[in-house]
A = this chain, B = another copy of it.
Amino acid sequence: MTQVTELRGDLELWARMKPLAESDDAEWVNAARDLDTWPGAREAARLQMRRGAAPRARKLYSPAVLADERDREALREMADHGFRVRIATTPLPQGTFIIDRRTIILTDPVLPATAAQGRRTYTMSAAPALVGGAYALFEAAWESAADLDAFLGSGRPAIDAQTSRVLRALGTGVTDEAAARQLGMSLRTYRRRVAELLVALDAGSRFQAGVRAGELGLTRG
């Protein structure tokens, strides 16, 4: 039987987390929907930033985390302190921590019954199989996620309905003329949209714009 512990409530979680957070040079890896995976998440991050132990921390969030202005600032701060922050294209409903490739902590899914009690539970384990498997998946998700800068720095705003159709047309590899005809607009207007896209994606060429779009997953929408 492998050891898996259920942690009831945030106090218990914090009791387990703190000694780990205080040990220097530990590798922290975290996937979550937003910055409030658990009540102490922000504080823990701040603690780590102060200790300067951040370079070995990786944080993977879903795009939802960018919705709030203050959250975006918090992310910037984390990045400035050496955290590596990336944004995945999926919701990441459940939070995951992997510490030093040895310990894994997961937020339990919020069931109506549990929510009513108002006490969140967490699952913790040090079983190599569980930790290793989760780490491998995290690595795969991390590898292809977009860097925070790519999301904040470059143009998110570009995607109104029409521009998005232009983007997809570009992705099919047809000529401007064919694409414009297909979308029912003039060649001139089509190229206007393309030019706007290049600006929005901060790209100097169509190729670069394609790379950006591909990395940001804009062509799959």
- Other-chain contact of A89, B5, B91, B143, B173 (Cβ < 8 Å): B143
CA distance in complex: A128, B213 (Å): 35
Contact (A136, B173) CB under 8 Å given A88-B144, A141-B141: no
Residues of B with C-beta under 8 A to A132? 93-94, 106, 108-109
- Other-chain contact of A217, B109, B143, B203, B219 (Cβ < 8 Å): B143
Q: Check A27 for interface membership: any CB of B closer than 8 A.
A: no
Contact (A208, B106) CB under 8 Å given A132-B93, A133-B134, A214-B215: no
Q: Chain A 73-97 against B: per-residue CB contact (8 Å), 1 yes, 0 no?
A: 0000000000000001111111110
- Other-chain contact of A143, B90, B96, B138 (Cβ < 8 Å): B90
Does A109 contact B129, Cβ atoms closer than 8 Å? yes
- Other-chain contact of A137, B109, B122, B137, B144 (Cβ < 8 Å): B137
Contact (A94, B210) CB under 8 Å given A1-B5, A89-B143: no
CA distance in complex: A26, B115 (Å): 29
- Other-chain contact of A170, B141, B175, B205 (Cβ < 8 Å): B205
CA distance in complex: A207, B166 (Å): 12
Contact (A208, B123) CB under 8 Å given A133-B94, A136-B93, A137-B137: no
Residues of B with C-beta under 8 A to A145? 140, 144
Interface residue tally of chain A, by bracket?
A: 35 or more
Most chain B C-beta atoms within 10 Å of own C-beta, residue among A6, A106, A212? A106
Residues of B with C-beta under 8 A to A208? 170-173, 210
Residues of B with C-beta under 8 A to A144? 88-89, 141, 144-145, 217
Does B174 contact A205, Cβ atoms closer than 8 Å? yes
Does A96 contact B214, Cβ atoms closer than 8 Å? no
Minimum distance in angstroms from A22 CB to a CB of chain B: 24
Residues of B with C-beta under 8 A to A94? 129, 132-133, 135-136
A residues contacting B by CB (< 8 A) are 1-2, 4-6, 31, 60, 88-96, 106-109, 111, 121-123, 125, 127-130, 132-141, 143-145, 170-175, 203-215, 217, 219
